[in-house]
Amino acid sequence: MKFATKAIHAGVEPDPTTGAIMTPIYQTSTYVQESPGKHKGYEYARTQNPTRTVLQNNLAALENGKHGICYASGLAATDAILKLFKPGDEIIASNDLYGGTYRIMVRVFQELGLKFKFIGLENPSALESAITPATKMVWIETPTNPLLRIVDIAAIAAITKAKNTLLVVDNTFASPYLQNPLDLGADIVLHSVTKYLGGHSDTVMGAIVLNDDEITKRLEFIQNACGAVPGPQDCFLVLRGIKTLHLRMQRHCENALKIAHYLSQHPKVGKVNYPGLENHPQHELAKRQMRGFGGMVSFELQGDSLPEAVRVMESFKVFSLGESLGGVESLCTHPASMTHASIPKEEREKNGLKDTLIRLSVGVEDVEDLIADLEQAIG
């Protein structure tokens, strides 16, 4: 199947009892057994749920993977992956990444004995010099959050495979519509399903997709033992959201490119970060690796004034100031005080994340209205 057909049909069958075309919400905590240990494949809803099973199969198909596992949130999925390792194991992560990922690595798992290195991975040679025999996993985002840098997945995968090291790619910003890291050599793909996959700002969820049977068994054990599962209502909402993923992503990409061009020509705007711009340092890599450039744009104002950046964010009428991204409505975020506040200021600035950076999640509204809102807010 091609992508749009998979989004609507992969893993989804009419309900065998009623013929309902939409997957039912199996709102139950337990399942009746015919005899002790004799059941229809479902025992207890923390372990399995039929609505969740359908969503997991659908997500696996979208990422061209074998196994899908859904979690209560994106960070719950991150937590499960980090639990694959033991004290003394080293993990290398890109230094431009979601603040919550940094927080769980440094404030939780580093305290438990895991070791972390945060380095720029836009040049794969940086990984060659940083990787050691203790390195068990490499973690990348691409495009990165919030500076929209692009990491060469295939080049990084060639290094990790040679070193027998796991490669995890957070594919949240791209979504499976734009990029499939497993096809490029990654071992595990992670999503904050809350974002583009759900697409309507009405659910919180995470997901992992992979091909390895043994790692899947370990992750399923960890999930059942620790309990980070999504509810069936949320699984239903995400299944519904995915059916329009391809349509939404097309509009997100179209609108974001127009807005990036508009901002890059605005006299009061300084640097604009968007991989679809030809002056983006990894524009050609993005063209090779992705099928579009996504709906995320970040920018700085001329003069680098925090009060002026705050004034702009307070002035929006169509863009809503709030955390998260990937919904049909356009959002504006101040990473330094919101999504990335858990990263120390000196670390943020060393990696290029200024306190004046504004991040836009460009929605699917009429782009003329979005540009008019930027015009009146920036002035």
The token pair that represents 293 in the structure block: 């450039």
Give every CB contact of residue 56 below 8 A, 6+ residues apart in sequence: 11, 67, 68, 69, 70, 207
Closest by alpha carbon to 315, among 281, 272, 268? 268
d(CA 176, CA 196): 9
d(CA 291, CA 181): 12
Give every CB contact of residue 361 below 8 A, 6+ residues apart in sequence: 295, 296, 324, 325, 326, 327, 330, 331, 332, 333
Give every CB contact of residue 205 below 8 A, 6+ residues apart in sequence: 70, 71, 72, 73, 74, 192, 193, 194, 197, 198, 230, 234, 235, 238
Contact criterion met (CB below 8 Å) for 151 and 144: yes
Residue showing tokens 């680098």: 304
Please state, in angstroms and as integers, the Cα–Cα distance from residue 284 to each residue in 95, 272, 288, following that order: 22, 17, 6
Contact criterion met (CB below 8 Å) for 263 and 218: no
Active site residue 195: yes
Of the residues 46, 243, 258, 287, only one is catalytic, namely 46
The token pair that represents 246 in the structure block: 């391809």
Of the residues 83, 195, 348, 354, only one is catalytic, namely 195
The token pair that represents 201 in the structure block: 């700002």
Of the residues 26, 71, 79, 98, only one is catalytic, namely 98
Please state, in angstroms and as integers, the Cα–Cα distance from residue 269 to each residue in 272, 273, 311, 340, following that order: 8, 11, 14, 22
Contact criterion met (CB below 8 Å) for 75 and 100: yes
Active site residue 170: yes
Of the residues 79, 96, 152, 170, only one is catalytic, namely 170
Residues forming the active site: 46, 98, 170, 195
